[in-house]
Amino acid sequence: MNAMNFLQAAFAGRRLATLGFLWLVMIAVAAIAAPLIAPFDPLEIDPVGRLAKPGWPNLFGTDHFGRDTFSRAVYGARMTVIIGTGSVVVALLAGGLIGMVSAYFTKLGHFLMRGVDVLMAFPALLMALVLITLLERSVFNTILVIGIVYATTTARILFGMTLKLKGEVFVDAAVCSGVGNLSILFRHILPNLVSPLLVQASFIFAFAQLQAAALDFLGLGLPPEVPSWGNMLSEERIYVTRAPWLLIYPGILIVLSVFSMNLVGDALRDSIDPRFKDDISGV
Amino acid sequence: MSEPLLSIVDLKKHYHTKSLWPFGKKQVIKAVDGVSFEIAPGEVLSLVGESGCGKSTVGRTLTHLEQATSGHALFEGQDFLMMSSSEFRPLRREIQMIFQDPFASLNPRLKIEQTLGEPLFIHGLCSTWEEARNKIAIMLETVGMDPMVMKRHPHEFSGGQRQRIGIARVMILKPKLVIADEAVSALDVSIQAQVLNLIKKLQQDSGISMLFISHDLGVVRHISNRVAVMHEGKIVEIGLKNEIFEAPKHEYTRKLLSSIPRVKTGRELV
Amino acid sequence: MALLEVQNLEIAVSAKGKLLPVVQSVSFSVDDNETLGIVGESGCGKSLTALAIMGLLGGTTVRITGGSIRFDGMDLLTLSERERRSIMGNQMAMIFQEPMTSLNPVYRIGDQIIENIRQHQKMTKAQARDRVVELLSLVRIPNPSERVDSFPHQMSGGQRQRVMIAMALSCDPKLLIADEPTTALDVTVQKEVLDLMADLQTRMGTAIILISHDLGVISETSNKVAVMYRGRVAEAAETESLFLELAHPYTRGLLNSMPVVDSDVDWLEAIPGRVPTLEEELTGCAFHPRCASATELCLTTVPKETEFKHGHSVQCHFPGKVAP
């Protein structure tokens, strides 16, 4: 089954999930073509036109520095994609590797998975807070922290799935052919995990947004000058009564995006191998 | 009888059940409890018994899919039962296994040529893909498949065809001993006969030895030279095929034979 | 009029916008005290036929497209959902291949049977419990009064299958459908279960439909046999007359494919090829691609059901002819 067929099967007859998918495509387009779409420089300060109401030319109004909120929102999409993709890559690489290796080499696994269990005992946000206070505020560090937080759940999930696949007859057959351990793990088991990994990635992508927004809101995420939806909420929260649109627009964007990602994740999950359905239940 | 290819002496495999309490008493389950037999070159020995009698465990310990508890297994005079996995690796080519479930034994994500080609490279039987594809093509024809199928994935094949591919994967390494664990049990009757004939022909043509593990006495009678009947982890009776089927000595063998439903064909009815 | 009469039953599967026939003009009947064996390989439609009788083809993908199923004078296909419910599990019961998955693991077996009884009959819990103990001893479960309170996982496969039979018999059904009831069991246990079913039949006069892939099982237990191939009844007759002279080349092939325990053969006479998949469109006789004596006629025309001998019907253009 190739990826195109998989997507087609996943979205067939699911209107809401398809809408979610289209919304995400729009976000992606906005992220890539941000300089073309945004009418103003998102960092340009205009002390005269601050806190303008939504209208023309400032579609979403301006913030307390007079920066164009619509342009910032468009550039915020870019941050959304970068943070999401980065966290997914970190979480899947770190968590996936730990989970797979732990399931295959059981002695090492005992050791590694107990470590994962300890980390999982902390609430995700708390752990992110602890880690971020040790590091500087930067895009890279935000990605790293969120990635590590979700690496734990990913490790758990991949541990379970690898364990199941390890008991499959085709793995026994490969062993009998003389295939080495690493080759079994990466050439025989990993390809069978691709579609569940895709599902897991979509959930991490969604939760990374919430996590990033929360960190930004607490002033611990991205540096304040970076236009992200979380930063926009954080900076303008004191103007909630005077200029509520400054919070409404980024708020709606976050909610819609996270909701869409979850819808897409659900759709993908329902069409993957039924054996793995129970393993993935969000992060 | 000539020098045996494989001789098993007092093979044991015990499992420990887990106790509910941290320091509770563990129970020992003796899945295989002191099994000994020999297989001569070119001979087919069947291991027959009901589920849970330990017959599959014997096969799995001999291929190091499970570690035996104790015993000896000599292959051409070399005791391999307790070897480490790296010591055992060179022997893997010689001792091959055919699995029961044709739907589970082929990796769904690999093309047939990858599944068949990989062991060739691992054991240094060829160095280029061109060479490998030639060998795969010949092997596929030998098991009655079109060589063109090597470009396809397992899900495109029926159960019987997959089992043929599974047999090709084993035979391509030119092993000396093949362990077939319920190799035809999952197949429909008409397909089972085809595959059974194929296994028998390949065995006779190449003169390999075979340990044929099955619960089906009809199949066992058809394929083997000698038969060992297993019950509760032990071999209760072992002998030439005709001795076992025509004049069973052990009570359990007799019970097994009398339990099989038989077709009353025209000749017997008249 | 027989207890169950199936006439020209048609079942189709809808896949990719097309209706693919899986069971085509299947007819048979079963009467009290009679066992009908349906034999065939996977995909021949034997299980679907059973599910159709039990009204378990509820989905939209598989549905009955024609024919009639008459049970005790009622047309099952026109009954309302409620009327059907009252018949199912009461006058008609079914046992499945997997005794482990058919029992709910979290309830005691006694409670599961009691629930079934009380759904159909007015009884107090105590009465129902007594009845269950009686049933368990009937299916020869040792210490029935204690085993009532066992959970399914505490029993062996053979015992679980016997519990399933006890449950099926709990309301004295007139018809029992057994779909591969012994396939998952060992031969020695299989014999016990089959003997038990035969014994219960002589005592209660139940009609039984036994579905199996094993000609041996069918031959030993059935009065009548229907051999199915790719959705059609290839051959049907009283068991004795069927095996006395096999009229359809498929039945002959099936019998020759079976390795037997009582004699030695060098090579099995396997049927070449494989069962065509549902998607493959066939013209003429469904068996012609695998038949050694197929002619032009077999390729173009679907054979009609003809009477080979008295009470022995066959769907073949050249019944009884041995391949050259």
Question: What does each C-alpha distance from C36 to A274, B37, B265, C206, C209 come to in angstroms?
Answer: 37, 45, 18, 11, 5
Measured between beta carbons, the chain A residues lying within 8 angstroms of B92 are: 176-178
Q: Per-residue pLDDT tens for A127-146?
A: 888 888 888 888 888 899 99
| B57 close contact with A: CB closer than 8 A | no
DSSP letter, residue B188? -
Q: Residue C72 and residue C91: Cα distance in Å, rounded?
A: 10
**Within a domain: B195:** no
Query: Do B127 and B186 belong together in one domain?
Result: no
Q: What's the predicted TM-score (pTM) here?
A: 0.84
Whole-number pLDDT of residue B269: 44
Site from C185, C186, C212, C277 to mutate, B interface, most B CB atoms within 10 angstroms: C186
Give me the helices (H) in chain A, please.
Answer: 3-11, 15-32, 34-37, 69-104, 106-120, 124-134, 139-166, 169-176, 181-183, 194-217, 229-236, 245-271
Q: Residue C9 and residue C30: Cα distance in Å, rounded?
A: 15
Whole-number pLDDT of residue A214: 86
| pLDDT bucket at A249, cuts 50 / 70 / 90 | confident
Mean pLDDT of C182-204: 88
Q: Which one-letter amino acid corresponds to residue B251?
A: E
Partner residue facing C268 (CB), from B160, B197, B259: B197
Whole-number pLDDT of residue A215: 86
**Within a domain: B54:** yes
**Within a domain: B105:** yes
Count of helices and strands (H, E) across chain C: 12, 12
DSSP letter, residue B25? P
The pairing of strands B226-231 and B70-75 is unpaired
Whole-number pLDDT of residue A246: 81
- Partner-chain contact B107 A188, CB within 8 Å: yes
Query: Do B2 and B73 belong together in one domain?
Result: yes
If contacts are CB pairs under 8 Å, which of residues 193-212 in chain A contact chain B?
A: 194
- Report the number of distinct structural domains present in chain B: 2
- If residue B28 lies in a helix (H) or strand (E), which one and from where to where? strand B28-39
In this prediction, what percent of chain A has a pLDDT beyond 90?
23
Could you tell me the maximum CA-CA distance found in chain B, to the nearest angstrom?
A: 67
Contact C189, C135 (CB under 8 A): no
| B218 close contact with C: CB closer than 8 A | yes
Query: Do B81 and B213 belong together in one domain?
Result: yes
Q: Per-residue pLDDT tens for A34-43?
A: 888 777 787 7
Partner residue facing A172 (CB), from B92, B99, B119: B99
| pLDDT bucket at B175, cuts 50 / 70 / 90 | very high
Contact C162, C105 (CB under 8 A): no
Whole-number pLDDT of residue B33: 93
Query: Do B150 and B23 belong together in one domain?
Result: no
Q: Which one-letter amino acid corresponds to residue C120?
A: H
Kindly report the number of other CB atoms within 10 A of residue A106's CB atom: 11
**Within a domain: B29:** yes
Q: What is the least distance, in Å, from the CA of B158 to any CA of chain C?
A: 9
For B247, residues 6+ apart whose C-beta sits below 8 A from its C-beta are none
Query: Do B1 and B85 belong together in one domain?
Result: yes
**Within a domain: B83:** yes
Partner residue facing B189 (CB), from C213, C243, C262: C213
Query: Do B238 and B140 belong together in one domain?
Result: no
Query: Do B89 and B123 belong together in one domain?
Result: no
Query: Do B184 and B255 belong together in one domain?
Result: yes
Q: Residue C45 and residue C230: Cα distance in Å, rounded?
A: 7
Whole-number pLDDT of residue A283: 46
Question: What does each C-alpha distance from C20 to C15, C45, C46, C68, C311 come to in angstroms?
Answer: 7, 12, 16, 19, 31
Whole-number pLDDT of residue C245: 85
In this structure, the dihedral spanned by the alpha carbons of residues A269, A264, A226 and A147, taken in order and rounded to 10 degrees, is 0
- Partner-chain contact A178 B104, CB within 8 Å: no
**Within a domain: B13:** yes
First-to-last C-alpha distance (Å) of chain A:
26
First-to-last C-alpha distance (Å) of chain C:
42
Size of interface B-C (CB pairs under 8 A): 119
Whole-number pLDDT of residue A137: 82
Mean of pLDDT over chain A: 84
Q: Per-residue pLDDT tens for A61-111?
A: 777 777 888 888 888 888 888 988 999 999 999 999 999 999 999 889 999
Partner residue facing A176 (CB), from B92, B104, B107: B92
- Structural domain boundaries enclosing B114: 101-174
- Partner-chain contact C219 B219, CB within 8 Å: no
- If residue C10 lies in a helix (H) or strand (E), which one and from where to where? strand C4-15
Does A52 score more than 80 pLDDT? no
Contact C181, C210 (CB under 8 A): yes
Helix axes A69-104, A15-32, angle to 10 degrees: 110
Whole-number pLDDT of residue C313: 92
Edge-to-edge, what's the strand order for the sheet holding C306-309?
C92-95, C175-179, C207-212, C35-39, C224-229, C232-238, C312-314, C306-309
In the beta sheet, which residues pair with residue C178? C95, C210
Whole-number pLDDT of residue C99: 66
Q: Which range is least confidently modeled, B101-105, B169-173, C96-100, C124-128? A: C96-100
Q: What is the least distance, in Å, from the CA of B241 to any CA of chain A?
A: 29
Partner residue facing B218 (CB), from C261, C269, C277: C261
Query: Do B12 and B85 belong together in one domain?
Result: yes
Whole-number pLDDT of residue A163: 92
Question: What does each C-alpha distance from B21 to A197, B17, B18 come to in angstroms?
Answer: 37, 12, 9
| Residue whose entry in the numeric block shows the structure tokens 């979205």 | A11
Chain C residue nearest residue B254, CA to CA: C188
Measured between beta carbons, the chain C residues lying within 8 angstroms of B264 are: 219-220, 240, 243
Query: Do B242 and B264 belong together in one domain?
Result: yes
Partner residue facing B108 (CB), from A175, A180, A192: A192
**Within a domain: B196:** no
Q: What is the least distance, in Å, from the CA of B150 to any CA of chain C?
A: 19
Whole-number pLDDT of residue B142: 94
| pLDDT bucket at C324, cuts 50 / 70 / 90 | very low
Measured between beta carbons, the chain B residues lying within 8 angstroms of C256 are: 193
Whole-number pLDDT of residue C141: 87
Query: Do B129 and B20 belong together in one domain?
Result: no
Q: Which of B117, B150, B174 is the last residue of a domain?
A: B174
Q: Residue C79 and residue C240: Cα distance in Å, rounded?
A: 36
| B259 close contact with C: CB closer than 8 A | yes
Query: Do B70 and B186 belong together in one domain?
Result: yes
Q: Per-residue pLDDT tens for C30-69?
A: 999 999 999 999 889 999 999 999 888 867 788 899 999 9
Percent of chain B as helix, strand, coil, to the nearest 5:
40, 25, 35
DSSP letter, residue B112? H
Count Cβ neighbours within 10 Å for each residue of A143-159 and write b for 16 or more, e otherwise.
Answer: bbbbbbbbbbbbbbbbb
In this structure, the dihedral spanned by the alpha carbons of residues B236, B241, B243 and B245, taken in order and rounded to 10 degrees, is 80
Q: Which of B119, B147, B174 is the last residue of a domain?
A: B174
Chain B residue nearest residue C195, CA to CA: B259
**Within a domain: B262:** yes
Q: Residue A130 and residue C95: Cα distance in Å, rounded?
A: 59
| B162 close contact with A: CB closer than 8 A | no
Q: What is the least distance, in Å, from the CA of B34 to any CA of chain C?
A: 23
